[in-house]
Amino acid sequence: MLLNKNYINPAYAGYSGDISFDLQSRVQWLRIPAYFLTNAFSLHGGCNATRLGYSITGMHDMRGEGFLQNTRINAAVSVNIPAYSSRRLRPRWLRDKKFIWSTGLNIGVGQRYLNWERLTFTDQYDIYFGFVRPQSLVQPQNVASNIIIDLSAGTRARMQLGDAGSYLSAGFALWHINRPVESFFFTDNRLPMRYTGHAFFHWQTEKYTNTPRYFSFGWIGNYQLEMQTNVVMAYRDFGLGYMLGAGYRSERIYALTRRVDSWVFQIHVRKEPFYLSYSFDLTMSSLGPHRTFGTHEFGISYLLKGYNMCTGSLRRSRRKKADCFYLNDDLYGKLGFSGYHM
């Protein structure tokens, strides 16, 4: 998702410390009749007094003209621990730098729905007469799967580099840790674990200014059994209320010897308190853009800057710049897209 980093790592729960609300909609392969449609929302908030972040996310996914639907609701909490690097580190540009380490836990509830009347197979059709007979191998079962309880966890770190405001961010997450059973047939069909990693470098291109600009470059990887997705992205903030991004996504399913590659183009526009985003995936594999019309994703976020979820105050140390969510402000708080970088 464009704005919702919780789908990458639960440690991003309440990542900015401020209250925000996000909406996203993704339409994959618009031209085909049974395109994939995903709608999602997220609510974020943080508490500076306890150094905790919170989020509630929801997702509804429709595939194949709606015959298969998936609904998920998640709640996540993150613990954010700020600190400084050692003054004895080598090289010297890493000495006495701010960093923050976060870990998060996510619990989700989900269920899938299947419209058996729309689920058909090739042996039910005749080349001349079309649909001619019911499917004999799989008879209609339950319309809904069992309700699952899903646990996930992740960790991430962000560290300042040099004195110009640049920083490095990286994280790793495990999804479906408890491997919940999800089935329409009352079988022991367990969700396989999924592994997600990311690493981003944000380079401040202008020093000693109240309106810093950044060039960002990073990678996101997603692995689950025979499925693997890697995304490489680059972003440029132009300091005029908008940011452009471009990258490459490679999706592989080794068991089917299938590969779907696409170029990714993004634009982010800031008009406080709103943040608007649009992403377009240009399919470059054998499917081709002429068959799919690509993938489109829209996002909007409303940010209540300066508002958090508790009224208490944290007694800040002498080295106050290391305090929890204030680290976001110290590193890139003056940037127009504060909180939306990795």
**Is position 139 within any domain?**
yes
How far apart are the C-alpha atoms of 295 and 69, rounded to whole Å?
19
Within 10 A of 66 (CB to CB), how many other CB atoms are there? Answer: 12
User: Each residue of 138-178: pLDDT tens digit?
Assistant: 556 678 889 999 999 999 998 888 766 788 899 999 999 99
Tell me the pLDDT band of 337, cut-offs 50, 70 and 90: very low
Q: Please state the pTM of the whole predicted model.
A: 0.81
Domain that holds residue 76: 5-332
More confident residue, 303 or 73: 73
Tens digit of pLDDT for each residue in 222-257? Answer: 999 888 999 999 999 887 788 999 999 998 887 667
Q: So what's the pLDDT on residue 265?
A: 95
Nearest CA to 166 out of 15, 324, 331 is that of 331
Q: What is the pLDDT of residue 127?
A: 65
Structure tokens at 330: 């110290």
Q: Which residue has the tokens 């409303």?
A: 302
Whichever domain contains 286, its CATH number is 2.40.160.40
- Residue 210 within any structural domain of the chain: yes
Considering the domain boundaries, does residue 81 fall inside one?
A: yes
Confidence of residue 331 (pLDDT cuts 50, 70, 90): very low
**Residue 342 domain-assigned?**
no
Q: Give the pairing type, strands 242-253 and 36-47.
A: unpaired
Is 341 inside any structural domain? no
The answer to whether residue 339 is domain-embedded is no
Count of domains for the chain: 1
As a whole number of angstroms, the distance between CA 53 and CA 40 comes to 20
Local confidence band at 25 (pLDDT 50, 70, 90 cut-offs) = very high
| 193 domain residue, yes or no | yes
Which class for 111: exposed (0-12), middle (13-18), buried (19 or more C-beta within 10 A)? middle
